[in-house]
């Protein structure tokens, strides 16, 4: 599909360029031709005027002393040297001719006949291998025919045609290659995002398969022994309940991520991040005590305001605190909030298992988990979606999220968010 899209892009480029070049070349062709025709016409008019002055020698050449040969004055005059005229009376008998005309009288008559047959005042006429352009002027006492060689015009036009075709083919080939390259580049992010999407769907269905299998097998277990009481089946029911809860959480997370992927803006307002961070940390205090993680503290700078969605911000802090708790066996969890002129910096630090250096980026990918066994209990092993949601939230607010960590010493996540302006 992407290959087809790439070819379509290339084809559109090549076709549009060919059309534009064709229009340019064709208009240039006609403009050059009309200029050459105009030049010829003005020379032919000169021939007619010369016939009036009874001058038998047409400008552009000098008759040599031998009275037979001619010397052409300069290359520009070459065309002029081919100019000649013939005057005929009303009966069609030749009354005057310029010097440099066709010597054979029969040929000359044949030429005049051909022009008359064309029944035009100006145009092109051929006599054997002579290619001429003519102008006929009717007079009371007969006609004046002026002729000039048109081979020059025709060779200029054919040279132009060859050059134009060569340029057109060259340009189309270049554009084809460049378009292939650029289309490939343009498609790369689409391909990457499609592959990501595919992986995401595959991971999501894979993750859903396990709870579904657990629910099904536990339900079968209950159905197989209808004589057992609910109390006796409590263990299986509890598995079903836990797994359905896990599935519920997962579908909620997936919905949130797809909402972010669709670039649906979350409503934002002025949020007191200092209050939010302090409140969220306080709500964890009981859990921290239960888990004997009491070594941490909150150091919160007052009055740090950000332009944000309160629900998303709370979710972001909760994900980081929740993870810190999941991956810390002893010590404590601390929260620090600071700001500079433009940004708020929120640090969530734990004394847990730490994160290997080569996985510091990967942990923000969807469904990525370092190792389930790292969590304190199997139940706390998550889905690998928490940090990707945290990253999406930071991105949505024009911020970033990063981590510093040392194995077996602990990790410190930093969320950087732009401060509320004004
Ligand atoms: P999960 O739901 O599995 O915790 P996350 O996306 O939140 O998924 O985290 C991805 C992985 O990053 C986790 O599997 C875990 O191994 C690692 N991780 C996250 N937070 C911490 C932390 N505070 N300390 C150590 N490892 C962490």
* Three-class SS of 5-31: HHHHHHHHHHHHHHHHHHHHHHHHHHH
Cα–Cα dist 371/365, whole Å: 14
Q: Ligand 1 mean position to 44 CA, how many Å? A: 92
Q: Of all helices (H) and strands (E), which one includes residue 414?
A: strand 410-418
Give CA–CA dist 50/146, Å, rounded: 10
What lies within 8 Å, CB to CB, of 38 at 6+ separation is none
DSSP per residue, 139-174: ETTEEEEEEEE-HHHHHHHHHHHHHHHHHHHHHHHH
Cβ 47 under 6 angstroms from ligand 1: no
Examine the pLDDT at 203 and tell me if it is beyond 80. yes
Answer yes or no: is pLDDT of 261 > 90: no
Give the tens place of pLDDT for each residue, 262-288. 777 888 999 999 999 999 999 999 999
Identify any residues that bridge with 417 across adjacent strands, giving them in sequence order: 344
Per-residue pLDDT averaged across 16-34, rounded? 95
3-class secondary structure, 234 = helix
Cβ-contact 40, 80 below 8 angstroms:
no
- Residue 413: CB atoms within 10 A of its CB come to 24
pLDDT at 211 over 70: yes
Ligand 1 center to residue 319 CA distance, Å?
Answer: 10
- What b/e string do you get for 5-24 counting C-beta neighbours within 10 Å, with b at 16 or more? ebeebbeebbeebeeebeee
pLDDT value for 161: 95
Which amino acid residue places its CA nearest to atom 20 of ligand 1?
Answer: 323
pLDDT digits (tens, 9 = 90+) for 387-401: 999 999 999 999 999
Residue with tokens 């052409």: 72
Q: Ligand 1 centroid vs 300 CA: distance in angstroms?
A: 24
The rounded Cα 250 to chain-centroid distance in angstroms is 36
Which is nearest to 383 in space by CA: 319, 328, 332?
319
For residue 43, give the nearest of 148, 187, 180 by alpha carbon: 148
From the CB of 323, is ligand 1 less than 6 Å away? yes
Q: How far is the CA of 324 from the centre of ligand 1 (A)?
A: 8
DSSP state of 52: H
* Beta pairing, strands 84-89 & 142-149: antiparallel
Q: What is the pLDDT of residue 75?
A: 45
Q: Which residue has the tokens 């083919």?
A: 169
Q: Residues 160, 165, 168, 170: what is their CA dihedral angle, to the nearest 10 degrees?
A: -110
The residue whose CA has the least distance to atom 14 of ligand 1 is 369
Probe target for ligand 1 pocket from 203, 326, 374, with the most ligand atoms within 8 Å of CB: 326
Axis crossing angle, helix 310-326 with helix 386-396, rounded to the nearest 10: 150
- pLDDT tens across 35-71, in order? 999 988 988 888 888 777 766 565 555 555 555 555 5
357-374 pLDDT, tens per residue? Answer: 999 999 999 888 887 666
Q: What are 159's two structure tokens?
A: 């040279």
In this prediction, residue 418 carries a pLDDT of 96
Nearest-angstrom CA–CA distance, 173 and 261: 39
């Amino acid at each position: 599909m992407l290959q087809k899209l790439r070819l379509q892009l290339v084809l559109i480029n090549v076709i549009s360029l060919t059309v534009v070049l064709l229009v340019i070349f064709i208009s240039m062709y006609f403009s050059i031709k009309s200029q050459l025709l105009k030049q010829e016409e003005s020379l032919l008019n000169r021939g007619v005027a010369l016939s009036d002055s009874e001058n038998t020698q047409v400008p552009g050449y000098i008759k040599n002393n031998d009275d037979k040969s001619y010397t052409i004055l300069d290359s520009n005059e070459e065309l002029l040297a081919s100019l000649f005229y013939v005057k005929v009376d009303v009966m069609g008998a030749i009354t005057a001719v310029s010097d440099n005309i066709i010597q054979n009288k029969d040929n000359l008559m044949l030429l005049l006949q051909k022009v008359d047959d064309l029944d035009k005042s100006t145009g092109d006429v051929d006599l054997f291998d002579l290619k001429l352009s003519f102008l006929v002027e009717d007079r009371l006492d007969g006609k004046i025919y002026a002729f000039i060689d048109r081979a020059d015009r025709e060779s200029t036009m054919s040279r132009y045609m060859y050059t134009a075709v060569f340029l057109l083919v060259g340009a189309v080939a270049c554009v084809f290659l460049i378009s292939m390259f650029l289309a490939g580049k343009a498609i790369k992010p689409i391909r990457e995002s499609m592959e990501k999407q595919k992986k995401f769907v595959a991971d999501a269905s894979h993750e859903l398969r396990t709870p579904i299998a657990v629910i099904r097998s536990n339900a079968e277990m209950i159905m197989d022994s209808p004589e057992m009481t609910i109390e006796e089946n409590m263990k299986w029911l509890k598995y079903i309940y836990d797994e359905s809860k896990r599935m519920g959480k997962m579908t909620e997370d997936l919905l949130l991520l797809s909402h972010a992927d669709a670039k649906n803006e979350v409503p934002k307002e002025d949020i007191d991040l200092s209050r939010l961070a302090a409140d969220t940390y306080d709500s964890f205090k009981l859990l921290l005590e239960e888990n004997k993680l009491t070594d941490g503290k909150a150091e919160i700078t007052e009055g740090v305001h950000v332009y944000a969605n309160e629900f998303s911000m709370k979710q972001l802090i909760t994900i980081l605190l929740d993870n810190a708790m999941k991956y810390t066996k002893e010590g404590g969890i601390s929260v620090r909030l600071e700001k500079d002129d433009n940004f708020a910096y929120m640090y969530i630090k734990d004394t847990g298992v730490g994160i290997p250096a080569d996985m510091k980026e990967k942990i923000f990918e969807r469904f990525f988990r370092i190792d389930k066994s790292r969590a304190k209990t199997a139940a706390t092993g998550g889905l690998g979606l928490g940090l990707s949601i945290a990253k999406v939230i930071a991105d949505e607010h024009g911020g970033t999220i990063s981590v510093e960590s040392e194995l077996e010493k602990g990790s410190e996540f930093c969320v950087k968010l732009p401060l509320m302006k004004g």
